[in-house]
């Protein structure tokens, strides 16, 4: 089947009006679709209300026991269940899942290297059968950024990485998979301050060139690395952009950045 | 099919060792099974760490917007996902659900009467098809005490009531349903201070008599009302007792209180 894996960024979820507009677009989006989300902004705020200060290294959250409890509460509870309830109100059946539910995503705790990330998991296996069974019934899985090790331990896993891993695993089962990253940017921009400096199409050569020129930097690097990684593992199409342009993207109108594998010619 | 609906009390969940022992028993329990839980003790503690004092009237939580967020985080996130991860580690596949997931339990916000309970929902409909589909695949649904109104609003619903509603809805689909309430008591006791004063079998006549004599009072009343309500709606058997006696109960050894409808003779 053709499956659309749509990841929504934390900055969008954190604004009720933006989140609502995104969920309406998700409900209208044609075909089979999977929703992926995290929610770091809200997790940090709720943690702080409990006196727990977030500890970030290079944009990655160090997840001690208390932080794991907070992200589990916020991602799998507060955010996931409100998203699911709203999707139903827009006519889109959905089931909210962590990696623990139905053993959907098993991960391994990241080994301690220079940095001890704590309870952070790297994806080991995706139970694509569960996703296929839900999608066949027109139910959208809504997956949050919590996984498990199969031995009773929950682990915190980056939501972009989950989106990429889910897309790749489905592609490996011969589905045609499109991966959409919705966030608070129009896509890859030549000038971050100008939304009209959008790069509509990018491949690895252009990416490497733009990275060298520091046009692409910091948080955009892992996002694009995830994208190329997915494309090279058989994902059909990857798109980056604003949630309000998601429906246009579904119609082939590129109001964002489309990412192409080196295997294809750009134009 | 024969389906066992097993509700675990908040005082058990709140003790990691007791919770683990219960989950092992649940995993070993033969046949199809559904887990139901709340988690009021932990929700109150986490709310307090955020400066929110629980507001209880007659043992029922008044659920304002902030309290709804907390119970959603704690029941659907922290507790539910840890239970599900542990069940997998004991070899029991499970998927954690709120009433919003797959439109499992739709409820209506309780009308404001003498008391305004806030965001509290009374069960309107149970999606038994979803439960049947999961059980047919040997996956246990793990349902927490959060429902939704179908219009995007989550609602807080008593976990005993959910257990009773789920059991009744399945019984009405011609399944043989057994309902187990596991809590921190051996069952109905003639003398609360003596665990050996257990009443092994009870029907509505005995219940009314014991209520008149104030042997049965406070929290035990709604629990037994839920039980009789379930029996009168076609549930086959209802049991109350300690989680460590659950496996005995599955073997027909009554180390707890079995509740019988008036339709059956007691002995």
Closest residue by Cα to residue A156 from A138, A164, A165, A144: A144
B-contacting residues of A 28-67, CB under 8 Å?
46, 49-51
**Residue of B52, B81, B104, B145 for testing the chain A interface, max A β-carbons within 10 Å:** B81
| Mean pLDDT over each residue of chain A, to the nearest integer | 93
How many other C-beta atoms lie within 10 A of the C-beta of residue B39?
A: 25
A89/B150 CB distance under 8 A: yes
**How high is the pLDDT of residue B134?**
97
Q: What separation in angstroms does the CA of B120 have from each of B61, B101, B153, B161, B172? A: 9, 17, 10, 12, 25
ipTM surpassing 0.85: yes
Residue numbers of the domain that contains A9: 2-259
| Mean pLDDT over each residue of chain B, to the nearest integer | 93
Which of A78, A86, A151 has its CB closest to that of B72? A78
B259 within a domain of the structure (yes/no): no
CATH of the domain at A127: 3.40.1160.10
Angle (CA) B169 B173 B175, round 5°: 95
**How high is the pLDDT of residue A21?**
93
Whole-number Å distance between alpha carbons of B263 and A89: 42
B244 and B182 Cβ atoms separated by less than 8 Å: no
Q: What is the dihedral angle through the alpha carbons of A103, A35, B80, B218, rounded to the nearest 10 degrees?
A: -150
A84/B98 CB distance under 8 A: yes
Low-confidence residues of chain A, pLDDT below 70? 262-267
B61 within a domain of the structure (yes/no): yes
DSSP codes of every residue in A154-219:
EEE--HHHHHHHHHHHHHTTT-EEEEEEE-SSSSSBSSTT-TT-B--EE-HHHHHHHHHTTSS-TT
Q: What is the pLDDT of residues B164-175, one digit of tens each?
A: 999 999 999 999
B46 within a domain of the structure (yes/no): yes
Q: How many domains does chain B have?
A: 1
**How high is the pLDDT of residue A11?**
86
Task: Using CB atoms within 10 Å of the CB of residue B267, give its burial: 0 to 12 exposed, 13 to 18 middle, 19+ buried.
Answer: exposed
Nearest residue on chain A to B148, judged by CA atoms?
A: A85
Whole-number Å distance between alpha carbons of A225 and B262: 67
Q: What is the pLDDT of residues B201-219, one digit of tens each?
A: 999 999 999 999 999 988 8
**Residue of A23, A73, A79, A154 for testing the chain B interface, max B β-carbons within 10 Å:** A73
Name the band, by pLDDT with cuts 50, 70 and 90, for residue B264: low
Whole-number Å distance between alpha carbons of B78 and B85: 11
A264 within a domain of the structure (yes/no): no
B212 within a domain of the structure (yes/no): no
Q: Is the pLDDT of residue B128 over 90?
A: yes
What's the whole-number mean pLDDT along residues B232-261?
91
**CA-based max dimension of chain A:** 52
**How high is the pLDDT of residue B218?**
83
A266 within a domain of the structure (yes/no): no
**How high is the pLDDT of residue A59?**
72
C-alpha distance from A17 to closest chain B C-alpha (Å): 14
- Which stretches of chain B are assigned E, i.e. beta strand? 2-8, 32-37, 56-57, 60-61, 94-97, 105-109, 121-126, 140-144, 146-148, 154-156, 176-182, 201-202, 237-241, 257-259
A138 within a domain of the structure (yes/no): yes
A91 within a domain of the structure (yes/no): yes
B88/A103 CB distance under 8 A: yes
Q: What is the pLDDT of residues A23-63, one digit of tens each?
A: 999 999 999 999 999 999 999 999 999 999 888 887 778 99
What's the whole-number mean pLDDT along residues B156-171?
96
Query: Chains A, B: CB contacts under 8 A, how many?
Result: 113
C-alpha distance from B81 to closest chain A C-alpha (Å): 7
pTM of the model: 0.95
Give B189's contacts (C-beta < 8 A, 6+ positions apart): B195, B197, B198, B199, B215
C-alpha distance from B177 to closest chain A C-alpha (Å): 23
């Amino acid at each position: 089947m053709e499956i659309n894996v749509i990841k929504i960024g934390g900055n969008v979820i954190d604004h009720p009006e933006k989140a609502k507009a995104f969920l309406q677009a998700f409900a209208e989006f044609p075909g089979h679709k999977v929703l992926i989300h995290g929610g770091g902004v809200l997790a940090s705020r709720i943690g702080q209300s409990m006196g727990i200060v977030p500890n970030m290294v290079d944009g990655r959250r160090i997840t001690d026991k208390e932080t794991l409890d907070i992200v589990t509460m916020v991602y799998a509870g507060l955010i996931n269940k409100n998203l699911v309830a709203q999707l139903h109100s827009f006519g889109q059946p959905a089931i909210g899942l962590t990696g623990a539910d139905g053993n959907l995503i098993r991960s391994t705790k990241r080994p301690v290297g220079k940095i001890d990330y704590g309870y952070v998991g790297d994806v080991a296996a995706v139970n694509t059968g569960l996703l296929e069974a839900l999608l066949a019934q027109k139910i959208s899985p809504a997956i949050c950024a919590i996984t498990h090790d199969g031995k009773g331990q929950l682990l915190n896993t980056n939501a972009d990485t989950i989106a990429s891993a889910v897309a790749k695993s489905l592609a490996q089962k011969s589905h045609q998979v499109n991966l959409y990253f919705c966030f608070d940017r129009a896509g890859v921009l030549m000038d971050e301050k100008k939304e009209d400096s959008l790069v509509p199409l990018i491949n690895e050569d252009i990416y490497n060139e733009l990275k060298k020129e520091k046009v692409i930097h910091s948080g955009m690097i892992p996002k694009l690395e995830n994208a190329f990684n997915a494309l090279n593992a058989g994902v059909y199409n990857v798109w980056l952009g604003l949630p309000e342009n998601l429906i246009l993207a579904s119609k082939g109108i590129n109001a964002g950045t489309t990412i192409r594998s080196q295997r294809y010619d750009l134009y």
